[in-house]
Amino acid sequence: MIFFIDSANLNEIRQVNDLGLISGVTTNPSLMSKEDVAGKNEILDHYQDICDIVSGDVSAEVISTQFDDIIKEGHQLSEIDKKIVVKVPMIEDGLKAIYYFAKNKIKTNCTLIFSPSQALLAAKAGATYVSPFIGRLDDWAKQENTGLAMLSDIKTIFDNYNYTTKILAASIRNSQQIVECGKIGVDVITAPFTSLMPLIKHPLTDLGLKKFLADYKKNNL
């Protein structure tokens, strides 16, 4: 399973990249705003800064919702760096744009997926990635694991028909959801820094290391 970080914070991205945890990055306008990145040129420069850190794909989201504007914005984003994946919302004009981008060999990430049917349509249109939002679906349904059940259904459908579109599980709220995504067999997860870093930790690891060091110190003084 490939790991991306869902962040626009350069320090977070560098830290997890230096650990070898991630292959790429996903971003959105909210994450850019959180880092006080504003204005077209500053946003484009920030995407380049992210691309300079990681070796894999970087999803850069369009803010347009009309076909012609999505195409124009998508071309601008794709020209920043070959790592850029144009992130397009699951709307009618978004699907049309994904189909256009696929024909023109521009990578896309169809975002705001909340059902297997939406993921299926995005795959048929030629999306490179589909991003099902598991945590946000759980919140809306007021029931845990609704998002994971959606992921499982999407995985079954894609396997049935050998779609090459990658399932990129998004809106991950905790480390356990990452483990569950691995059990389902999704291609990629994207998670915030606060969900990625706890994967390293376990109380027994800390206790074991403490004992090993204490025993070494006792026997070597």
Q: What is the pLDDT of residues 55-95, one digit of tens each?
A: 999 999 999 999 999 999 999 999 999 999 999 999 999 99
47's tokens? 């995407």
Length of the chain: 221
Answer yes or no: 210 catalytic. no
Give the three-class secondary structure for 191: strand
Average pLDDT of the residues in 194-200: 96
Q: Which long-range contacts (CB under 8 A, 24 or more apart) does 196-199 make?
A: 196/3, 196/5, 196/16, 196/21, 196/22, 197/16, 198/174, 199/175
Query: Which of 40, 82, 87, 142 is labelled catalytic?
Result: 87
* pLDDT given at position 16: 97
133's tokens? 């939002």
Give the phi and the psi of residue 55 in degrees, each rounded to 5. -95, -15
Whether 8 and 34 have beta carbons less than 8 Å apart is answered as yes
Distances (CA, A) of 202 to 18, 155, 209, 212: 21, 30, 11, 16
pLDDT digits over 156-186, tens only? 999 999 999 999 999 999 999 999 999 999 9
53 pLDDT above the threshold of 90: yes
